[in-house]
Structure 1
């Protein structure tokens, strides 16, 4: 029972569990039923949406069918358009090709037009220049001739008068008592006047007739020997007499060694010829027309011409030596034949199809004399037909091709107009020492009859240790290929192969360029290049700054640099002065062929050194140099510290604007000096100022280099000399001398003032009219040779009240042994000792006293003269200055600064710095009295230019 009951309980539990599960199932069923109802509702909605979509699809399908139809139509139209496009494209390509051809022709026409316009402009300028020169020469000649005629008429009139006076006195009673004495004195005066007039007239006529120097010397010797008794007061006669006396006391015959016999020429000009007599006659005419100063002979070597050379040459040019080959041998053997018969120390080979230009021979002989290391030196060859360069020397490439430098350019192109080393120069015009030519056994006969004999000679000279140069200032018009015509062309290729085989290894090692194209693409420079920038082209005969610039450039050339020069204020070619640099071997940047910024843009990379003179030029070129030459070492040559001079001038005049300008200059100058690799000053005081007061460590004292000319003894000296350019300190110094010193001197005191620019500028300024009209002042303007003035001067004066640097005028005076009286400004920073080698005058009274003491005390005069010469030899010795420069360059190389510092250093000062400096200067001016303004802490620091 209990068991049944338990089972019943279990069954009931299971039933309850089943019921619970059933209820859960019912609940789930209801939930599922609800979900099914929802799903049916959603299905109905979906069916509705599907029906809508089917309607939209049917619409879209209809639209798609329509679009497909339109697309088919479009494709058809596109095919038609593509056909038309291909046709149009073809026509466009054809038109484009025609347009390119037209543009090419137009560019060529434009280039040719520009070239012709340039040539035309150059020709017009040359014609105009020549017309002006001719007019000026004619005007000068006419004026000189008129003056000579007037002098002759005056001399004749005076002679007639004196002769009449003599005749009237001859029978007078008074003459019997004292006439012989008076007449003798009057006759002596008459003879002196006539002698001077004859000499002046003769000199003028010789200048007009362009007589050679040797002929002038002979005439002068005859006149001085025959008419010396009436030329005793003539300076030239006294110089000639003194030289002859010296030679006589030395056991030499007067005039010995001054004349060159006609059979002993310096240069033998050898002209190989074969027919073309007309060319030869034109060539000879050009040689004799230019009247070279160098003695020469002309040897024409006839290579069996069919022209009548013998009779024609003997008729027109009897002075020419004529040699003839036994048989026709070609150019090479004919040239060697002429060299064997030459008498000159130099031999010059010249083609007969050339016409030489004035200066041609003198430039070559001078260059060869000045360069003992030279093998051959050649002329610049100019095409006769085009007027453009045929060559200005030649390089030889590694592949054996010749590179004629400058071909097609203007003769004055700066890149090809300076004396420089080349591989060889065409034998159309080359000069050599005869000893060197003989040592080389002449032109190598392997290349006979012609071609490649001149480049072969050039390389043989190089291999023997000589250097070959081109002298572009020696110019020759050359027809080219007319000497022997085309008769030798068949040998050209054979000789080319011989030349290449002989020199291929040498060229592989020494040639700069692989091919001529490589030269056109990029220039190569085997030596260090230095860019030298200054205010103007150096004019050594017109100022001390020019002498210094010439010295520096010559120094760098001797040390193996390639030097390139630009003068900011003289951008064009200045014939006399630019040619001095070109002759030295300095490449010059000048317009119109080259502009400085264009040159720097294309060539700045090539410079390893920069040498910039004067702060104003450093400012002008600062950004260009930073941009195009950041790699270069920088040397700043102050010439003098400009801000010191400007401060002294401002304090002297009490001018606020001057003080402001001086403050700006000070900021500029110190910024450049501190950032340069080296800064050059010529005054010891300026070196101390920069180092001690401004903390600069790269300052070098490089004094002015001056050679001692020597003192001329035994001459009568008189008067004083002032030498100066149109520089404000010089003009102020003359005013000071005139107003305060001259009144204290004797009335017969005379001051000779040398300086063309100084005179011309003062003439334009009314405030200096009293100086120009002063009877005790003589303005002689430009003097070619200072010896003409200083050799007879008693003393020189330097009455400067302010300036900077050292004074070249003081060194020039000492160079000739002439004592100098100077203010404190004239000797500061030099190390000169007052009373030993110069006289110092601080006041007008001291100036007058010193001038008079030199005139009255011969012992004092000689002491100061000897002391000055000794000081100059020691302190300004060029060799010592060069040694100092060597030391500076070595120091720069060893301690090169990081050029990024220089590139980032601001040269232009901040405005607040300028304002502060200006305020300080203004306060100093307001609280200083007139006496205090004349003194300054800068007074002992520097001097102005000569």
Structure 2
């Protein structure tokens, strides 16, 4: 595409504006802070690949259709003044990738004199409103809000290309964060650099686009978090709240600082202003108003800063000093900062330890902590990493974390508490934490007592070499417990066992599995079959399945020939897969959604012959109201009573008898279902763990 005179003028104006802002920054912030900002602007950072950013194809105008609804949930307000070609691109983006939520699009024309009127009136589905005269951005937005019919308002600049899924991500944030009052998008430049990951406001009322010119994929900018404000180029706010506040404050007319003011007004009502990185919007910053604050409409940015500072003087007290280069540490100021390190990113759909870890981080975030997660293997985990970020967890990985040691050297000073999960992770990390985070309390999370599990496995196998190995694991785990400030175990049984092995000064706390109660699923008469759930990287699960499949299930199948066993779990070994040769057994491997098996299968089994800790498979079934038949090992430390909330059996014949009995006894089934759910609520819910979390981490 050839360069036009308009392009040249834009580049010249941008350069002129950069020079003006640079000189102004030297005067207000000093040379050192200004130079730091210049280096950040021109530093080379990983950008999004150009092909990953959607941009509608440029073409002559032709009529098209935009998303529309007579009963919209969201009203998208696009204020415009000339720049018809940019408005056209924005609307084409909305038309080519329509959101799943019902919406309406309102274009408010603030007195355009170009092709805007002719084009907008030819676009089907668009609500086009022409103002009586030019009043500026604030007036146009407030007019659009008055016309809106949706439950939520979205203010969207016309010089944007919303990326697929952006609107659904904004709305989803309100569904997850009940105290959200305003949610802003991640803004990126057309060249793939980050433009804004929420805004930072300093003590003098000046502001900074957090993450400007850096990589949009940098872990500092990829999690949901509180922001001082979000640029009005792409924000969502409940319609009732916006109207209750009085809309954008007209004292800032025609434009600038109205979005910052709105964010402060939202917070003054006890609600949060959140940045949502999953809502990505390409923004051609400066197209309409330019970038030079010394002339034109951008000059109002300087004037309005003073207005804003006077209006919100009390709220600005204690904010970072002007000229400070924002960092995750300064943004989380005043909050408990907790680092969590595990062997890898937790995968809650694969194993119970991962589910426990994710729910623990949810609890910490809910209690007001800023949580940072670092996987010891430094690998990104796709959807599981993204899911943590949607919970508000700052999740790191390579290449942004080059090594664990270098990352700890750079970030260790931030943390009040460091949680090290699993003994082999803690053994490697504890010296680094003591060196680079000497101020932090170190919490060692055992997940389960590995040495106990290993010893029991060795006893089952009758292997002296395994017993010696278990003894070495025991020595390592106990040494870590002596060095840590606190140790977490998952059951009172393990806590009591350690009391005889550790000095009285060692602090051992119980923080068990964490589950949410699910629906109760289908009734007894509509359920059928048996289910086993457990990841097969965990040796006790493979042993349990082989024992059950070879010795117990044939006894059950002889008495209940129509019953099938569903074996679910990632990475089943060859021996477990071979169980499918036994009539009635299906080995599924990993399944992405367990709900149909939890809600539709009649009986769960937990035939573990060795192990330690608390068994997530038992918790999971009980949380869904699915009764369980288990061995004594499988219910250890879980506050369960045989015949009340679980059936306990030992030996192949006894286990088969218990399964057959429960499968045919509706009264027993209902009793175990009801009492099992109550057990989860009382001992293994997030609410049940809340006091322990406060005691350990705060």
Tell me the TM-score range normalised by the shorter chain: 0.7 to 0.9
Deviation at residue 282 of structure 1 after TM alignment: 2.0
Rounded Cα–Cα distance in structure 1 between residues aligned with 2:466 and 2:381: 33
**1:403 and 1:516 in contact (8 A); partners too:** no
User: 1:123: which partner in 2?
Assistant: 49
Distance, in Å, in 2 between the alignment partners of 1:588 and 1:816 is 30
**C-alpha spacing 1:464/1:843, structure 2 compared with 1 (3 Å):** closer
The answer to whether the Cα contact below 8 Å between 2:571 and 2:590 also exists between their aligned partners in 1 is no
Tell me the alpha carbon deviations over residues 469-508 of structure 1, each in whole angstroms, 9 at most, x when there is no partner. Answer: 2111211011111245579952433452343254157278
* Cα separation, partners in 2 of 1:867 and 1:508, compared to 1, 3 Å: closer
Query: Could you tell me how far 1:520 is from its partner in structure 2?
Result: 7.2
- Residue 383 and residue 365 in structure 1: after superposition, are their counterparts in 2 closer, same or farther (change >3 A)? same
From the superposition, tell whether residues 483 and 821 of structure 1 become closer, same or farther in structure 2 (CA, over 3 Å): same
Match of 1:380 in 2: 186
Residue 535 (structure 2) pairs with residue 725 (structure 1): yes
Q: Is residue 701 from structure 1 mapped to residue 510 from structure 2 by the alignment?
A: yes
Instruction: Determine the C-alpha separation between the residues in 2 that align with 1:686 and 1:633.
Output: 22
**Post-superposition offset of 1:339:** 0.7
Aligned partner of 2:568 in structure 1 is: 754
State how far apart, in whole Å, the 1-side matches of 2:168 and 2:628 are.
39
Equivalent position SS for 2:600:
coil
**2:482–2:502: 8 Å Cα contact kept in structure 1?**
no
Secondary structure of the 1:746 match is helix
Name the structure 2 match of 1:441.
246
Aligned counterparts of 2:95 and 2:633: Cα–Cα separation in 1: 54
Match of residue 41 from structure 1: none
Q: Which residue of 2 aligns with 1:774?
A: 582
Given the superposition, is the C-alpha separation of residues 647 and 703 from structure 1 closer, same or farther in structure 2, using an over 3 Å criterion?
Answer: same
Is contact 2:159-2:288 (8 Å) kept? yes
Q: Is the alpha carbon distance of 1:461 and 1:816 closer, same or farther for their aligned partners in structure 2, counting shifts above 3 Å? A: closer
In the other structure, the counterpart of 1:179 is none
Structure 2 segments unaligned to the other structure (5+ residues): 1-38, 55-66
1:431 maps to which residue?
236
**Using a 3 Å threshold, how does the CA distance of structure 1 residues 411 and 111 change in structure 2: closer, same or farther?**
closer
- Does residue 581 (structure 1) correspond to residue 388 (structure 2)? The answer is yes
Give the C-alpha shift of residue 626 in structure 1.
1.3
Distance 1:270 1:502 in 2: 24
Match of 2:649 in 1: 841
Q: Secondary structure at the match of 1:263?
A: coil
CA distance in 2, matches of 1:516, 1:415: 20
Quote how far apart the aligned CAs of 1:547 are: 1.7
Say if 2:261 and 2:308, in contact at 8 Å, map to a contact too. no
Per-residue deviation, 1:289: 3.0
Once residues 723 and 830 of structure 1 are traced to their aligned partners in structure 2, the CA distance between those partners, rounded to angstroms, is 18
1:413 corresponds, among 218, 221, 225, to 218
Aligned partners of 2:78 and 2:315: how far apart in 1?
Answer: 34
* Aligned position for 2:497: 689
Q: CA deviation at 1:889?
A: 4.5
Q: What SS is found at the alignment partner of 1:564? A: strand
Out of 540, 546, 559, which is 1:735 matched to? 546
Local SS of the residue matching 1:733: helix
CA contact (8 A) 2:567 2:586 kept: yes
Aligned pair in 2 of structure 1 residues 501, 711: CA closer, same or farther (>3 Å)?
closer
Distance 1:827 1:408, change over 3 A: same
Q: Deviations over 1:97-144 (max 9, x none)?
A: xxxxxxxxxxxxx9999938x55xx639x77x99xxxxxxxxxxxxxx
1:16-70 CA-partner distances (Å, limit 9, x unpaired): xxxxxxxxxxxxxxxxxxxxxxxxxxxxxxxxxxxxxxxxxxxxxxxxxxxxxxx
Going from structure 1 to structure 2, the CA distance change for 1:812 and 1:667 (only over 3 Å counts) comes to same
Structure 2 residue corresponding to 1:607, chosen from 389, 410, 415: 415
Query: Given the superposition, is the C-alpha separation of residues 275 and 602 from structure 1 closer, same or farther in structure 2, using an over 3 Å criterion?
Result: same
8 Å Cα contact 1:706-1:878 kept in structure 2: yes
Kept in 2: contact 1:414–1:594 (CA 8 A): no
For the Cα contact (< 8 Å) 2:629–2:646, is it kept in 1? yes
Q: 2:263 aligns with which of 458, 463, 474?
A: 458
TM alignment of 1:887-898, pairs within 5 A: 887-889=695-697
Q: 1 CA distance for matches of 2:524 and 2:498?
A: 46
C-alpha distance in structure 2 between counterparts of 1:785 and 1:365, whole Å: 24
1:801-835: CA deviation from partner (whole Å, max 9, x where unpaired): 11110111111111222221111111011121112
**1:510 aligned residue:** 317
The two structures, once aligned, show a CA RMSD in angstroms of: 2.8
Aligned residue number for residue 263 of structure 1:
70
Equivalent position to 2:299, from 493, 506, 510: 493
Equivalent residue, structure 2, for 1:302: 109
Q: 1:834 to 1:631 in 2, by over 3 A?
A: same
Q: Kindly tell me: are residues 485 and 326 of structure 1, through their superposed partners in 2, closer, same or farther at Cα, counting changes over 3 Å?
A: farther
Structure 2 CA distance, aligned partners of 1:607 and 1:692? Answer: 32
Contact persistence 1:396–1:511 (CA under 8 A): no
Task: Write the deviation string for residues 912-933 of structure 1: whole angstroms up to 9, x where unpaired.
Answer: xxxxxxxxxxxxxxxxxxxxxx
- In 2 relative to 1, CA 314–862 (structure 1 residues): closer, same or farther, beyond 3 Å? same
Shift of 1:374: 3.1
Equivalents in 2 of 1:486, 1:882: separation in Å?
49
The count of residues paired between Structure 1 and Structure 2 equals 638
| Contact map agreement 1:456 1:499 (CA 8 A) in 2 | no
Q: How does 1:775-924 map to 2 (within 5 A)?
A: 775-889=583-697
What is the aligned partner in structure 1 of residue 522 from structure 2? 712
Pair 374,794 (structure 1): closer, same or farther in 2 beyond 3 Å: closer
Which position in structure 2 is the counterpart of 1:938?
A: none
**Partner Cα distance (1:685, 1:480) in 2:** 60
Residues 619 and 680, structure 2, Cα contact 8 Å, conserved in 1? yes
Secondary structure of the 2:571 match is helix
Alpha-carbon separation, structure 2, partners of 1:880 and 1:522: 31
Name the SS of the counterpart of 2:531 in structure 1.
Answer: strand
- What is the SS of the residue equivalent to 1:621? helix
1:537 to partner: Cα distance: 1.6
Aligned match of 1:678 = 486
Instruction: Provide the C-alpha distance between the structure 2 equivalents of 1:368 and 1:112, rounded to a whole number of angstroms.
Output: 33
Q: 2: CA distance between counterparts of 1:745 and 1:693?
A: 43
Change (3 A) 1:112 1:512: closer
Contact conserved, 1:368 with 1:432, CA < 8 A, in 2?
Answer: no
Alpha-carbon spacing, 1:392–1:852, altered in 2? closer, same or farther (3 Å): same
Which residue number in structure 2 is paired with residue 185 of structure 1?
none
Between the aligned partners of 2:666 and 2:432, the Cα distance in structure 1 is 57
Task: Indicate the structure with greater strand content.
Answer: 2
TM-superposed CA distance for 1:633, in Å, is 1.0
* SS of the residue 1:531 aligns to: strand
Instruction: Tell me how far apart the structure 2 counterparts of residues 506 and 603 of structure 1 sit (CA, whole Å).
Output: 32
* Cα 1:508–1:745 shift into 2, 3 Å: closer
**How far apart are 1:769 and its partner, in Å?**
4.9
Deviation digits for residues 558-592 of structure 1, max 9, x if unmatched?
221111001223x2332311111111111111111
C-alpha distance in 2, partners of 1:591/1:813?
A: 36
Which residue is 1:640 aligned to?
A: 448
Q: Aligned partners of 1:298, 1:322: CA distance in 2, in Å?
A: 8
What CA distance in whole angstroms lies between the structure 2 residues aligned with 1:553 and 1:839? 32
Structure-1-length-normalised TM-score = 0.64
Offset, 1:296 = 1.5
> 2:449 & 2:670 partners in 1: Cα distance?
34
Secondary structure class of the residue paired with 2:500 = helix
1:275 is the counterpart of 2:204:
no
Report the 3-state secondary structure (helix = DSSP H, G, I; strand = E; otherwise coil) of the residue aligned with 1:806.
coil
Where 2:596 maps in the other structure, the secondary structure is: helix
Q: Decide whether aligned partners of structure 1 residues 518 and 708 sit closer, same or farther in structure 2, where only a CA change above 3 A counts.
A: closer
1:547 and 2:352 correspond: no
Partners in 2 of 1:848 and 1:376 — Cα distance? 56
Q: CA deviation at 1:743?
A: 2.8
Q: Does 1:390 align with 2:195?
A: yes
